[in-house]
């Protein structure tokens, strides 16, 4: 059944107060709920409830008999007279049997593990009967009762409100949350956990006890998360004037979690992967992810919790906005250009392919059959790009004013995307409604730019056009406002002051023009020679730019643009043209020459800092490059990409590569400061480039680096290089890594993932062998992601074998995973996205497998939904 945005109706009954009492047990937990309900419409009361054993049901103190309610298809329906009532239920649930990790479940083993909940989007209905929709906001009181020895720590969202003994070895604890919240933000945690704490005082003077909880063996890896949390709180106070609003804030780490983390009110729960960090087991990237995800969940306290979503179609209202806030925070904490490079690369790698295939959907979808399948790159990352455009439109102070009004106006409410645009607009006397088109339309717009220089008039005419290709179920597209930040450079690389036709004097060298129709020409005056336009600076809109640059023009930007991001962007575009040369066998192509020469000069010149240089030396990945092929053959893409990298390595020269590598090696430390991280990143790039021109020299250095690495970044990078370019020599270090990190789940995940991503014909056999490792299990989402997910989504040559063996193997595993955990199965299944554009042999093999899966009737709604859409191609 399909849920449609157009069918939205406010709730017929709301819940003012909820009182929940849990008698916790691993096999069986009883939940007693008392709901104070208020009628809003003349309809029966309908509560969601799935997988609940109903023990008792009463209305206003009177127990209901069998004929007095209907319980079918996950809905409990009761006809009630009057405008208010108190409903009491008692149900039993079975946490240890809950392998879907939705609702109340067990993390870890029966004897050592702990109990926790995940409710977003619709998990609360697996805990108790409730109108489980985000526009029902209630005040929660939660009492937990459990055996003290087995469950010494009892946590729920809200402020603590008493605790004590029950006499029979059991104890209790109560929590009251003063802030009305939707059911998806409810959470409890119970078990043996350790904590680290910090006393924080908010800018508005509230004393808050911060606690991060984890199992004893990893509690000493929570320090970085605590530092990140403190920085996040201070940043939100400074940047948006937002203060935390409870007396305690708990954060809990679990190894068993379907997604990254969850912003439950006062009790955030994290996948351990995004909370734990130490130099011996975490890479630099992982440190940055921890900082970003801790911030993301914390920022949700305002953008998501205090102001929540009216319905799940508005998901990007909280997710797009919170990703934007998180990205701005990370940019402030680290390097802004590098952060932008990372975000744009992610958008292109994850969101553009989604937007171009059968799973495409608008940032605000208009229908869904399973909401869990809409926690996507489109809702999150493209959603963030839309907020970034709005923020750019209003300017720094205007956006802050708009956010202040949004929070003030909608505090305690469940809002819509219209509400958001309206508040931002009202605070600035602006009409932002044209941007709504972005939210309702799938597909990545193509922006075409055509420049014409008129020497006689000393004018440069830049014509911009837009067109969005048809997407699944959305054939006709409208124009959207596209802000284009731009500069014009002369051929010496100097930026020109800009004066548009009709203006009386020249302004800055950079400005933003907005294309708000299908086509518009912008005329720049006082231009002496044909300029090189630098367009979409800072990636000012999430579009694909089509501009017939000559390689030499891009090389000018790559060499001279003072802005790191734009320099990288010019390099990426030039690299795309260089790739075309390699693909077409044109080893002496002008783009390939321009790209390698510009980079070799920058490398030798020494003017570029290590981090940016590492990024510049990285062309678009194999997944982005498929867009440059008509018929997609991952093997040929890899060959062409390796050829361009080899050409680059040759142009720089093996000796300079070795020399620079050795310099960096001598400076090696495990320090976390930005320059040290940059050195490690550049070192890794150089080693990979060296492997293409001096395989023996690179392997020898990589083996030495593995042995001497002071931290995980250098260790893992070295291992991957050896395994990719000198696989026989990798056996020993791979076995060594396995022994060294036995019992360290997050390190083992990286060990599985690194091997799953090794390219080539042996990849499938390697992955199948790894399934036999005693540490492998289909029950743990991180482990499945690290082996199966990495293989299917990040190893194009391995997964897309021409004989289709990997497709058949994955189909088999999907069925097995689906029986345990539908959300995880559905996510892995998106690896089949794009099968229709593969070359014919692979296409046919993939199609057979996808069609076979889609024809099954025994799969979950999650997996069925993905397969049905993917099968359409």
Contacted by 262, from ligand ARG, Zn ion, none: CB < 5 to 8 Å by type: ligand ARG
Helix (H) / strand (E) containing 869: helix 861-872
Q: For residues 281 and 303, which CB has a smaller minimum distance to Zn ion in the complex? A: 303
Hey, which bits of 40-169 come out as E strands? 45-48, 53-59, 62-63, 70-72, 75-78, 84-93, 103-107, 114-118, 138-147, 153-156, 159-165
DSSP 25: -
Hey, which bits of 474-525 come out as E strands? 482-489, 511-515, 519-524
Query: Cα-Cα-Cα-Cα dihedral of 131, 132, 136, 142, to 10°?
Result: 90
Reference 572, options 608, 612, 629, 532; nearest CA is: 612
**What is the closest distance, in whole angstroms, from the C-beta atom of residue 316 to ligand ARG in the complex?**
11
Backbone angles phi, psi at 772, to 5 degrees: -85, -10
Contact (CB, 8 A) for 293 and 274: yes
Distances (CA, A) of 81 to 71, 644, 762: 19, 74, 68
Q: For residues 261 and 846, which CB has a smaller minimum distance to Zn ion in the complex? A: 261
Per-position DSSP letters for 788-812, written without gaps between them: IIHHHHH-HHHHS-TT-HHHHHHHH
Q: For residues 262 and 495, which CB has a smaller minimum distance to ligand ARG in the complex? A: 262
Report the chain's C-alpha Rg in angstroms. Answer: 28
Q: For residues 236 and 818, which CB has a smaller minimum distance to Zn ion in the complex? A: 236
CA distance 752 to 771: 9
Q: For residues 13 and 186, which CB has a smaller minimum distance to ligand ARG in the complex? A: 186
Non-local (6+) Cβ contacts of 151 within 8 A are: 24, 114, 115, 190, 191, 192
Contact (CB, 8 A) for 537 and 501: no
**What is the closest distance, in whole angstroms, from the C-beta atom of residue 773 to Zn ion in the complex?**
33
CA distance 664 to 676: 10
Contacted by 120, from Zn ion, ligand ARG, none: CB < 5 to 8 Å by type: ligand ARG
Contact (CB, 8 A) for 533 and 488: yes
Contacted by 375, from ligand ARG, Zn ion, none: CB < 5 to 8 Å by type: ligand ARG
**What is the closest distance, in whole angstroms, from the C-beta atom of residue 454 to ligand ARG in the complex?**
51
End-to-end CA distance of the chain: 21
**What is the closest distance, in whole angstroms, from the C-beta atom of residue 595 to Zn ion in the complex?**
38
Contacted by 269, from Zn ion, ligand ARG, none: CB < 5 to 8 Å by type: none
Q: For residues 182 and 425, which CB has a smaller minimum distance to ligand ARG in the complex? A: 182
Contacted by 785, from Zn ion, ligand ARG, none: CB < 5 to 8 Å by type: none
Contact positions with Zn ion (CB under 5 A) in 319-358: 319, 322
Does residue 503 have an active-site annotation? no
**What is the closest distance, in whole angstroms, from the C-beta atom of residue 251 to ligand ARG in the complex?**
13
Q: For residues 320 and 571, which CB has a smaller minimum distance to Zn ion in the complex? A: 320
Contacted by 821, from Zn ion, ligand ARG, none: CB < 5 to 8 Å by type: none
| Beta strand pairing call for 114-118 and 446-454 | unpaired
x-or-dash string of contact with Zn ion, 285-324, rule CB under 5 A:
----------------------------------x--x--
**What is the closest distance, in whole angstroms, from the C-beta atom of residue 324 to Zn ion in the complex?**
11
Q: For residue 748, give the 3-state DSSP assignment.
A: helix
Contacted by 115, from Zn ion, ligand ARG, none: CB < 5 to 8 Å by type: none
Output helix, strand, coil percentages for the chain, rounded to the nearest 5: 45, 20, 30
Q: For residues 319 and 688, which CB has a smaller minimum distance to Zn ion in the complex? A: 319
Contact (CB, 8 A) for 770 and 756: yes
CA angle 120, 122, 126 (to 5 degrees): 110
Backbone angles phi, psi at 566, to 5 degrees: -70, -30
Backbone angles phi, psi at 153, to 5 degrees: -105, 125
Q: For residues 120 and 624, which CB has a smaller minimum distance to Zn ion in the complex? A: 120
Q: Where are the alpha helices (DSSP H) in 519-633?
A: 551-560, 564-583, 590-605, 610-616, 622-625
Distances (CA, A) of 264 to 104, 301, 306: 14, 8, 11
Of 120, 263, 297, 622, which one is the catalytic site residue?
297
DSSP 303: B
Contacted by 345, from ligand ARG, Zn ion, none: CB < 5 to 8 Å by type: none
Contacted by 599, from Zn ion, ligand ARG, none: CB < 5 to 8 Å by type: none
Reference 177, options 371, 412, 350; nearest CA is: 412
Query: Cα-Cα-Cα-Cα dihedral of 475, 476, 481, 483, to 10°?
Result: 40
Q: For residues 315 and 592, which CB has a smaller minimum distance to ligand ARG in the complex? A: 315
Which residue is at the shortest CB distance from ligand ARG?
A: 375
Contacted by 349, from ligand ARG, Zn ion, none: CB < 5 to 8 Å by type: none
Contact (CB, 8 A) for 298 and 246: no
Sort 9 into a burial class: Cβ within 10 Å, 0-12 / 13-18 / 19+: exposed
Q: For residues 123 and 620, which CB has a smaller minimum distance to ligand ARG in the complex? A: 123
**What is the closest distance, in whole angstroms, from the C-beta atom of residue 712 to ligand ARG in the complex?**
25
Q: For residues 120 and 245, which CB has a smaller minimum distance to ligand ARG in the complex? A: 120
Contacted by 261, from ligand ARG, Zn ion, none: CB < 5 to 8 Å by type: ligand ARG
Helix (H) / strand (E) containing 307: strand 307-309
Contacted by 314, from ligand ARG, Zn ion, none: CB < 5 to 8 Å by type: none
Contact residues toward ligand ARG (CB under 6 A) are 120-121, 259, 261-263, 296-297, 319, 372, 375
Q: For residues 326 and 419, which CB has a smaller minimum distance to ligand ARG in the complex? A: 326
Tokens of 64: 């209901």
Per-position DSSP letters for 179-204, written without gaps between them: EEE-GGG--EEEES-EEEEEEEE-TT
Which residues are catalytic, by number? 297
Where do contacts with Zn ion occur on this chain (CB under 5 A)?
Answer: 319, 322
């Amino acid at each position: 059944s399909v849920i449609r945005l157009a069918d939205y109706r406010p709730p017929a009954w709301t819940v003012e107060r909820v009182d929940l009492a849990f008698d916790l047990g691993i096999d069986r937990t009883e939940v007693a709920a008392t709901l104070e309900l208020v009628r809003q419409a003349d309809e029966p009361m309908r509560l969601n409830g799935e997988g609940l054993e109903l023990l008792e049901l009463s209305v206003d103190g009177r127990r209901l008999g069998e004929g007095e309610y209907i319980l079918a298809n996950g809905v409990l329906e009761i006809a009630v007279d009057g405008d208010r009532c108190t409903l009491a239920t008692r149900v039993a649930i079975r946490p240890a049997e809950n392998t879907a990790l939705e609702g109340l479940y067990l993390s870890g083993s029966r004897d050592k593990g702990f109990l926790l909940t995940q409710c977003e989007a619709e998990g609360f209905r697996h805990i108790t009967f409730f109108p489980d929709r985000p526009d029902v906001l209630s005040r929660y009181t939660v009492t937990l009762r459990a055996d003290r020895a087995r469950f010494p720590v009892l946590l729920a969202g809200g402020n603590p409100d008493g605790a004590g003994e029950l006499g029979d070895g059991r104890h209790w604890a109560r929590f009251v949350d003063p802030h009305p919240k939707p059911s998806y933000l409810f959470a409890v945690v119970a078990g043996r956990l350790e904590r680290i704490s910090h006393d924080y005082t908010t800018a508005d003077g509230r004393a808050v006890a911060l606690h991060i909880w984890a199992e004893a063996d990893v509690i000493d890896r929570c320090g970085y998360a605590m530092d990140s949390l403190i920085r996040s709180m201070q940043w939100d106070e400074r940047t948006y004037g937002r203060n935390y609003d409870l007396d305690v804030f708990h954060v809990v780490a679990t190894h068993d979690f379907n997604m990254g983390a969850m912003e439950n009110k006062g009790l955030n729960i994290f996948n351990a992967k995004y909370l734990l960090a130490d130099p011996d087991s975490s890479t630099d990237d992982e440190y940055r992810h921890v900082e970003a995800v801790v911030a993301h969940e914390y920022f949700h306290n305002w953008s998501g919790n205090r102001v929540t979503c009216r319905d799940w179609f508005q998901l990007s209202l909280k997710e797009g906005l919170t990703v934007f806030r998180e990205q701005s925070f990370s940019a402030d904490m680290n390097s802004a250009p590098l952060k932008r490079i990372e975000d744009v690369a992610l958008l292109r790698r994850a969101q553009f392919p989604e937007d171009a295939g059968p799973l495409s959907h608008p940032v605000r979808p208009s229908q869904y059959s399973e909401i869990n399948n809409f926690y996507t790159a489109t809702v999150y990352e493209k959603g963030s790009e839309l907020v970034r455009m709005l923020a750019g439109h209003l300017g720094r102070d205007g956006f802050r004013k708009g956010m202040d009004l949004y929070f003030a106006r909608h505090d305690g409410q469940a809002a819509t995307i219209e509400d958001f645009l309206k508040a931002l607009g009202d605070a600035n006397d602006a009409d932002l409604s044209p941007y709504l088109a972005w939210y309702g339309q799938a597909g990545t717009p193509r922006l075409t730019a055509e420049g014409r220089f008129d020497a006689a008039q000393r004018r440069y005419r830049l014509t911009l056009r837009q067109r969005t290709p048809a997407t699944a179920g959305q054939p006709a597209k409208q124009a959207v406002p596209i802000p284009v930040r731009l500069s014009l450079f002369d051929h010496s690389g100097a930026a020109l002051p800009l004066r548009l036709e009709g203006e009386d004097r020249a302004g800055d060298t950079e400005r933003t023009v907005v294309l708000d129709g299908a086509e518009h020409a912008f005329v720049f005056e006082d231009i002496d020679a044909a300029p090189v336009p630098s367009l979409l600076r800072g990636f000012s809109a999430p579009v694909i730019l089509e501009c017939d640059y000559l390689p030499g023009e891009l090389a000018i930007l790559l060499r001279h643009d003072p802005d790191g991001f734009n320099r990288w962007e010019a390099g990426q575009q030039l690299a795309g043209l260089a790739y075309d040369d390699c693909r077409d066998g044109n080893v002496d192509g002008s783009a390939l020459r321009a790209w390698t020469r510009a980079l070799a000069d920058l490398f030798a010149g020494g003017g570029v800092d290590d981090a940016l240089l590492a990024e510049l030396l990285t062309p678009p990945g194999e997944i982005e490059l498929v867009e440059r092929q008509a018929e997609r053959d991952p093997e040929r893409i890899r060959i062409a990409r390796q050829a361009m990298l080899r050409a680059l390595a040759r142009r720089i020269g093996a000796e300079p590569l070795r020399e620079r590598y050795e310099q960096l090696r001598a400076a090696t430390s495990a320090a976390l400061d930005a320059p040290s991280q940059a050195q490690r990143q550049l070192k890794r790039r150089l080693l990979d480039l060296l492997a293409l021109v001096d395989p023996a020299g690179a392997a020898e250095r990589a083996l030495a680096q593995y042995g001497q690495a002071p931290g995980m970044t250098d260790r893992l990078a070295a291992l991957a290089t050896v395994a990719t370019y000198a696989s026989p020599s990798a056996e020993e270090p791979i076995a060594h890594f396995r022994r060294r990190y036995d019992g360290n789940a997050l390190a083992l995940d990286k060990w599985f993932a690194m091997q799953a991503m090794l390219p080539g014909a042996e990849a499938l056999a390697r992955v199948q062998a790894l399934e036999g490792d005693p540490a492998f299990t289909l029950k743990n989402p991180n482990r499945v992601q690290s082996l199966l997910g990495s293989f299917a989504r990040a190893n194009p040559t391995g997964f897309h074998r021409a004989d289709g063996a990997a497709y058949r193997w994955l189909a088999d595993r999907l069925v097995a995973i689906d029986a345990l955990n539908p959300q995880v199965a559905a996510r892995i299944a998106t690896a089949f996205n794009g099968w229709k554009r593969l070359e014919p042999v692979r296409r046919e093999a993939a199609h057979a497998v996808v069609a076979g899966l889609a024809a099954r009737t025994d799969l979950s709604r999650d997996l069925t939904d993905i397969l049905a859409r993917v099968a359409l191609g």
